[in-house]
């Protein structure tokens, strides 16, 4: 089941993703983002990536004029029942 996020949703990385990438300590595990509306091939339900990514309110590392994109499989809503808080 593909997760669906909407602009304004508060999201963070899932603990499963953080553990699988060895991020047991550090800032990424504590970060929270808001999903922002962004029209591009990564966010749209188009043929290229079919909405697998969402844009968040942080600058992209490789192009600061664009928002950071994160795969929806690695995110969870901050207020979901699975969110334990930090």
In a domain, 22, yes or no: yes
In a domain, 18, yes or no: yes
In a domain, 35, yes or no: yes
Confidence band of 81 (pLDDT split at 50, 70, 90): low
The tally of domains found in the chain comes to 1
Place of tokens 């553990």: 19
- Report the pLDDT value the prediction gives residue 49, as an integer from 0 to 100: 57
In a domain, 67, yes or no: yes
In a domain, 86, yes or no: no
In a domain, 19, yes or no: yes
Walk across the sheet containing 75-77 and list its strands. 67-71, 53-59, 33-36, 10-13, 75-77
**What's the pLDDT tens digit per position in 18-74?**
999 988 788 888 899 999 988 887 777 655 556 688 899 999 999 999 999 999 999
In a domain, 16, yes or no: yes
Q: How far apart are CA 17 and CA 31, in angstroms?
A: 14
- Report the pLDDT value the prediction gives residue 67, as an integer from 0 to 100: 93
Q: Which domain holds residue 59?
A: 10-77
């Amino acid at each position: 089941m593909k997760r669906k996020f909407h602009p304004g949703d508060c999201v963070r990385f899932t603990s499963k993703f953080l553990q699988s990438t060895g991020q047991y300590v550090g800032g990424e595990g504590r970060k929270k983002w808001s999903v922002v509306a962004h029209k591009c091939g990564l966010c749209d339900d188009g043929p290229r990536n079919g909405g697998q990514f969402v844009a968040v309110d942080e600058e992209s590392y490789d192009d600061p004029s664009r928002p950071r994109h994160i795969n929806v499989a690695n995110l969870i809503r901050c207020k979901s029942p699975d969110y334990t808080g930090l």
